[in-house]
Amino acid sequence: MSTAAATSRSVVSARNISVGGDVRIKGLTPTGQSTNTRQELARLLRKINRDHRFRPRRDLAPFVNWSGNAASPIHRWLRYREAYSPNLITKLSLGPAILDPFCGCGSILIGAAQNGYSSVGIDVNPLATFAAKVKLTPLTRAQLTSVRTFAASLPNRLRGIEPWPVPGLSISSKVFEPLILDTILRIRSAFEADFAGDRVVRNFILLAWVAILERVGSYFKEGNGIKYRNRKRLKTGYIQREDGEWQRQRFGSNQKSFVLTAFHAQIEMMLEDAKHWKKGRWAEQHVIEGNALELSRLLPDRTFDSVVFSPPYANRFDYFESMKVELWFGGFVETYEDNNSLRKISVRSHLGADLNKPFEALPQLEQIIGLMDRDASSWRMGVPSLLRGYFDDMRQTLTQCHERIERGRCYVVIGNSAFAGVIIPTDAFIASLGLECGFQKAEILVARHLTVSPQQRNQLAGLEDQMRESIVVLS
């Protein structure tokens, strides 16, 4: 039976699904879904889509994901796979006062500063809000010089410095080679001591330090979590790489200098980008670490010209899992309770969120859930509760966004997803919820179709065009 087939922002990978061979019951497709069910799903999706106006906008495809930011000054300081492009500001002709209630690492806020606009961003992830704040806080020339001097002094002084304490994350010593761990912790102690009296410089360097962890680590982010570099994925499955050999290939023969080189390169790049701080209304962007579902409480008196956001997609991805190394090592999370409470208040897009919270049912979602394959692991794991909670969270968010806009529009960047033999038309549901929450008009701009794995293509045969990544425009 198929397990959850989840979409990422950019790729839907075969890793997220597995198709068992024990379900070829008569009348079922190779994926275990009955032809009747599929026809019923197609009919239902057509009906849901008919309620809305769709417009192909392939020109928007490059702006709904992170790829452009990876090479853009300031944006590139921290790889945040979930980010979208600041160019949406001009592409969508956003107004001069912008709200992004799921601002992540601050893409829109930086764009707003550079366009001479003002903005407010909210995000529940303290690593994301930290990165956004650092990017929005220009250093003085003297502070930039002190960063440069610090970086240059490092190689000669590391030996005499005590390493920073290892964080309480249980896999801390597994995600780094011992010498690499020792080196990064000594670098941390050095800048914490040198800049104890200057939080702005300390935070700038801390961001550089957090940003290189994955590069120097024995792990990398993949799908819904992290994977270890000592294992290699082949078509047939994972194999163990030879101990000693993979480290040499990855880090070279001098691990300490590998770390120092990565750190220097990161600092150099950030110092180089600092010239982009010369122009921009940096002081007019505000970042709030908090829950977008509490928008009215967080921003009781503010209204905006435009609201733009990309909430987590309903795809089971748990950012607190994939970013756990950076969260713990950066000191943004200090205990497992901290981590869990962040998970619990995040949008119900993953199984670690609070799925016991009440929800208001969405009738068309219930019809789709009714077609889900009950033998699928995603069904057993509780994906129906996740979906119910997800759209309830979106309803609450849209209601509060509607209250914060005076005359402008709300733009929601979103991707559809697939679980247990059904497709969730998230864009159409967001459009319907927007209308329910008080917006007068909804339009769905289809930016691109999501790539699906060969197995998933089989499962979704004939329905692939429903796997869209769109911008829902509410006015």
Compare residues 219 and 319 and give the one whose CB is closer to ligand SAM: 319
Q: How far is CA 158 from CA 34, 172, 176, 308, in A?
A: 64, 21, 18, 45
Ordered alpha helix ranges (H), 311-443: 319-322, 324-329, 336-345, 363-369, 377-381, 383-404, 426-436
- Tell me the two tokens of residue 416: 């559809």
- Residues making contact with ligand SAM (CB under 6 A): 80, 82-84, 102-105, 107, 122-125, 128, 291-293, 310-312, 319, 345-347
Going by C-alpha positions, the residue among 401, 430, 399, 400 that lies closest to residue 414 is 430
Compare residues 31 and 119 and give the one whose CB is closer to ligand SAM: 119
DSSP result, 102-163? T-TTTHHHHHHHHTT-EEEEEES-HHHHHHHHHHTSPPPHHHHHHHHHHHHHHHHHGGGSPP
Smallest distance, ligand SAM to C-beta of residue 465, A: 23
Smallest distance, ligand SAM to C-beta of residue 82, A: 4
Compare residues 103 and 180 and give the one whose CB is closer to ligand SAM: 103
Compare residues 127 and 190 and give the one whose CB is closer to ligand SAM: 127
Smallest distance, ligand SAM to C-beta of residue 410, A: 14
Q: Tell me which DSSP letter residue 209 carries.
A: H
Q: How far is CA 229 from CA 98, 182, 183, in A?
A: 41, 19, 19
Compare residues 9 and 57 and give the one whose CB is closer to ligand SAM: 9
Smallest distance, ligand SAM to C-beta of residue 311, A: 6
Smallest distance, ligand SAM to C-beta of residue 102, A: 4
Compare residues 56 and 290 and give the one whose CB is closer to ligand SAM: 290
Smallest distance, ligand SAM to C-beta of residue 460, A: 23
The Cα–Cα gap between 274 and 472 comes to 34
Smallest distance, ligand SAM to C-beta of residue 129, A: 9
Strand partners, 238: 233
Q: How far is CA 190 from CA 57, 162, 179, 194, 451, in A?
A: 50, 9, 17, 6, 45
Compare residues 107 and 470 and give the one whose CB is closer to ligand SAM: 107
Residue 265, amino acid: A
Smallest distance, ligand SAM to C-beta of residue 79, A: 11
Asked if residues 450 and 6 have their Cβ atoms less than 8 Å apart, the reply is: no
Smallest distance, ligand SAM to C-beta of residue 358, A: 16
Phi-psi label, residue 252: left if phi above 0, alpha if psi -120 to 50, beta otherwise: left
Compare residues 98 and 293 and give the one whose CB is closer to ligand SAM: 293
Smallest distance, ligand SAM to C-beta of residue 64, A: 10
- Label residue 386 exposed, middle or buried (CB < 10 Å: 0-12, 13-18, 19+): buried
Which residue's CB atom is positioned nearest to ligand SAM? Answer: 104
Smallest distance, ligand SAM to C-beta of residue 326, A: 12
Length reported for the chain: 475
Compare residues 134 and 147 and give the one whose CB is closer to ligand SAM: 134
Compare residues 80 and 251 and give the one whose CB is closer to ligand SAM: 80
C-alpha distance across the termini of the chain, in Å: 42
The Cα–Cα gap between 336 and 339 comes to 5
Compare residues 321 and 373 and give the one whose CB is closer to ligand SAM: 321
Torsion of CA 201, 273, 308, 16, to 10 degrees: -90
- Tell me the two tokens of residue 119: 């903005």
